[in-house]
Amino acid sequence: MTYNQSGFDLDEKRGHDTDAYVRFSKIGWVKISYSRPIPDHATIKKETTGEWFVSFGLETDAAFSEKPDMDSLDASNSVGIDLGILNYIHTSDGTTVEWLDLEDEYERLRREQRTLSRKEKGSNNWENQRKQVATVKRRIRRKVLDYQHKITTCLVREYDAVFVEDLDVTEMLEQSHNSRNKQDAAWRQFITLLEYKADLYGCHVVQVEPEGTTKACARCGVETAKPIWVRDHSCPACGFETDRDANAAMNVLKRGFAALGLGWPEETPVETVTVPRNSSSFWCANESKALVNATDTDDIHEVSASHVVETGSLVS
């Protein structure tokens, strides 16, 4: 329910310090805590847990950062993102971010759901247990959202351009394998966060066609079929070998440049993308000396989920 200024009254005299009371028409007085002047619109929402929340929307003069010129983009300040299964994301510059560990939350959810199934539907006990199930689900959603906020903020602050696959999430969820992880990933939500933060931090975010990014060789373009359990890329045509997701991230980066009409510099070797960002030989488009053996897994910088949660950073 949304109210404009005529639909609610604020009584600050009855509160103390940051507490006050808001009277909503047809509802009554609601005690709230706040830290700034109350704006002209308020929304009341009832969660599935049975809790009520009052949120106030306000307008601010947002300080948007100016996005860099397209001509300034190159492989050193841009990144391709592969939204993966084994890892949450894999970047084209050799960083992998692990999945958020939610097994304890899912175990509790299973217990609460089993308890709910034994209650008589519609009874008071059933309703109380339903709220317990909703509380666990809400905790999972909030953990995933917090995790995504931290990852996306790091990406748009560090790069001038971020390229990501335009995934058909609905179709992917209809497939039987790994559907729960795909829902937990909330990839469409992840992309939405990237796009709105790009305006705040001055970053280009471009979605590219995802079909074939895993099959195509990032070096020569020859497609090779890979079952889901095959985690390495080995091109029979040119011999290029690397991690499966790293190869896909490289292809996303190249397609992103093509989508912006920039093409792909002929002198940019795809092997350079496996050098981690914190390496002393950090690569760029014209530094052929940064070439490394793309089959060397030691060049992949792995970031644990706990590190992201604790520090909000992808760099250790």
Active site residues: 82, 165, 245
Residue 281 CA, distance from chain mean position: 28
Question: CB neighbours (10 Å) of residue 272?
Answer: 25
Output the six-digit token pair for 19. Answer: 């507490």
Q: Are 294 and 287 in contact (CB under 8 A)?
A: no
- 267-270: long-range pairs with CB below 8 Å, 24+: 268/74, 268/75, 270/218, 270/219, 270/240, 270/294
Please report, for residues 85, 156, 189, the alpha-carbon distance to residue 149 in angstroms, rounded to integers and kept in the order given: 19, 11, 10
Block residue for tokens 């729960």: 180
Strand order from edge to edge, sheet including 204-208: 204-208, 161-165, 78-83, 89-91, 95-97, 301-303
